Amino acid sequence: MKKKMSFQSFIIAGIRNKPGRNLATAFCFAFIAANIFSGQYLIAGAVGSVNQGVSRMGADFIVAPIEYTVLLRGSGPENTFAIVKTLPTVWRMNNNRMDTIGNVQGVIGISPQLYVATINASELSSLPVDIFGFDPETDFTIQPWLRQPLKNPLSQGEVIVGHQITGDILSKVQVSNRSYTIAGRLDPTQSAADTTIFMGLDDAYSLAQTEGVVPLSAPRISRGDINAVLVRIQPGEDPDPIGARIRRSFPPSQVTVIGRHFTLDPISQDIQGLPGLLKIISLVIVVATFPLIALIAAMVTHERQREIGLIRSMGAKRNVIFSLVIVESLFLAAIGGIAGVAASLIAFLLLNTTGILNSALQVSFRQPAVADTGYMAGIALFVVIAIGGIASLVPAYTSSRMNPYDAIRGEDR
């Protein structure tokens, strides 16, 4: 038996023993919280996916020996083409040409790639597996496709594998009796990258020296050889003049410069407009729910007239009544807010795993990071609690001003 009375226990008893009215109030708060949270969550997810999409657009140009020309198909937003890796060819050039490209005006990133060999290994994939060397430090086309960011920069003996290669992260893969650790795995690119193993250039050169890796029919690979240089240009710059400048920096008929035939800007602008729209919708809903909350608060207070009159007759001062009404409202707002955020989070997780979210949004939805999610939940809670406080101001004031005897007479006698 509890032999003490406190304001908390009084408020909690009131909430616990009158579930009907409190559920209605908490539900309204939950609705608002869910709305605010979902809005932010959708914005963050969509923007995250656009940002990822941009980073996965691959190279703007590929500079390769004149012998080949290639574009690889990728699955960026709108299924456009992204240059993630070069084609597996044996036409090579020396990496001393890279500086020339890097110095061209408008170029902001260059990264070399080397095709080593194609192996058949049923334990890795039912399809032939390409082995590629790349430079993890300058790379800007492969690593954006990582499902999970690497814990540490890729080091010697570590590889990144395409989506269809078998093997868990941190497990070993065998390539021609050499063992490598899988450090990362790519999302599906719907390109040959899905069946490729990417390793650092040093590892690639050593592997290439191993007997039987590079077919005898193919020219030997020596240190410094690369197949292509992937080029990224200043965003927003017109690619054509830059491509022309790169071509002119080489002697005629030595390299081919292949450009990407699309830009992302129009799509991303569409999606960048989304946050504003969602914010407006959130605002409208909050504004529309506000009178509802205020109405419920007023109704609850009316229903509690007798109770308030009684505790006034026991000597409760006006400010006590005022605080009681406010605190109770804040409490319900907090409970409703937490419930609303939790419910939307669960709904999003379900929708996301079932893929409904992606198809409904028409953009790939990227689940925001835990910290960001916590921040958004915090904002939703804060807004809901603020609304709870503000909406209960008037009822709190009128209750505290009510004449105790009238309040009691208002109901049963």
Partner 1 sequence: MINVDGLTKTFRMDNYEISAVDDVQLNVQPGEFILIFGRSGCGKSTLLGMLAGLIRPTKGVVRVHGVDIAHLSDDDVSGLRAKEIGFVFQFSGLLSTLTVLENVLLPTLFCTYSPSSGLRALELLEKVGVLDRADAYPHTLSSGEMKRVAIARALINGPALLIADEPTGDLDVDTEFEIMELFRQLNHEGTTIVMVTHNPDLVPYGTQSYYMERGKIVGKPKTSSCENLDLKSVSHLTTRDLT
Ligand X SMILES: Nc1ncnc2c1ncn2[C@@H]1O[C@H](COP(=O)(O)OP(=O)(O)OP(=O)(O)O)[C@@H](O)[C@H]1O
6: partner contacted, choices ligand X, partner 1, none (Cβ within 5-8 A by kind): partner 1
CB atoms within 10 A of CB 16: 10
- Tell me the per-residue interface mask from 332 to 351 with ligand X, x by CB under 6 A, - otherwise: --------------------
- C-alpha span between 275 and 264 (Å, rounded): 18
Q: Which residues pair with 174 in a beta bridge?
A: 179
147 touches ligand X by CB under 6 A? no
Ordered alpha helix ranges (H), 131-260? 201-209, 239-248
- C-alpha span between 404 and 353 (Å, rounded): 56
Contacts of 354 (CB under 8 A, 6+ apart): none
218: partner contacted, choices partner 1, ligand X, none (Cβ within 5-8 A by kind): none
State whether residue 162 is helix, strand or coil.
coil
User: Which residue's CB is nearer to partner 1, number 92 or number 304?
Assistant: 304
User: Which residue's CB is nearer to partner 1, number 20 or number 215?
Assistant: 20
410 HSE (CA, 13 A, CB side):
18
Whole-number minimum distance, CB 308 to partner 1, in Å? 10
- The maximal CA–CA distance of the chain, rounded, in angstroms, is 105
Whole-number minimum distance, CB 413 to ligand X, in Å? 8
Whole-number minimum distance, CB 316 to partner 1, in Å? 5
- C-alpha span between 328 and 300 (Å, rounded): 11
Question: How big, in percent rounded to 5, are the helix, strand and coil portions of the chain?
Answer: 50, 15, 35
Whole-number minimum distance, CB 412 to ligand X, in Å? 14
User: Which residue's CB is nearer to partner 1, number 267 or number 324?
Assistant: 324
Token pair recorded at residue 61: 């140009």
- C-alpha span between 168 and 171 (Å, rounded): 5
User: Which residue's CB is nearer to ligand X, number 151 or number 413?
Assistant: 413
CB 395 within 8 Å of CB 355: no
User: Which residue's CB is nearer to ligand X, number 197 or number 402?
Assistant: 402
Token pair recorded at residue 373: 């999610």
- C-alpha span between 349 and 185 (Å, rounded): 22
CB 104 within 8 Å of CB 209: no
User: Which residue's CB is nearer to partner 1, number 17 or number 171?
Assistant: 17
Whole-number minimum distance, CB 372 to ligand X, in Å? 57
**What is the binding site for partner 1 (CB under 8 A)?**
1-7, 9-10, 13-14, 16-18, 307, 310-320, 403-405, 408, 412-413
163: partner contacted, choices ligand X, partner 1, none (Cβ within 5-8 A by kind): none
- Tell me the per-residue interface mask from 353 to 392 with ligand X, x by CB under 6 A, - otherwise: ----------------------------------------
CB 226 within 8 Å of CB 93: yes
Whole-number minimum distance, CB 304 to ligand X, in Å? 19
Whole-number minimum distance, CB 5 to partner 1, in Å? 4
Token pair recorded at residue 303: 């229903």
Whole-number minimum distance, CB 277 to partner 1, in Å? 44
Out of 16, 172, 401, 409, name the contact with ligand X by CB under 6 A: 409
Question: Amino acid identity, residue 45?
Answer: G
Contacts of 42 (CB under 8 A, 6+ apart): 274, 278, 361, 365
User: Which residue's CB is nearer to partner 1, number 274 or number 320?
Assistant: 320
385: partner contacted, choices ligand X, partner 1, none (Cβ within 5-8 A by kind): none
Whole-number minimum distance, CB 306 to partner 1, in Å? 8
- C-alpha span between 290 and 156 (Å, rounded): 60
314: partner contacted, choices ligand X, partner 1, none (Cβ within 5-8 A by kind): partner 1
Whole-number minimum distance, CB 396 to ligand X, in Å? 23
User: Which residue's CB is nearer to ligand X, number 147 or number 409?
Assistant: 409
Could you tell me the sign of the dihedral formed by the alpha carbons of 150, 151, 156, 157, in that order? negative
Please work out the total of residues on this chain that contact ligand X, with binding judged by CB under 6 A: 2
User: Which residue's CB is nearer to ligand X, number 155 or number 403?
Assistant: 403
User: Which residue's CB is nearer to partner 1, number 4 or number 151?
Assistant: 4
- C-alpha span between 335 and 356 (Å, rounded): 29
Binding site for ligand X (CB under 6 A): 406, 409
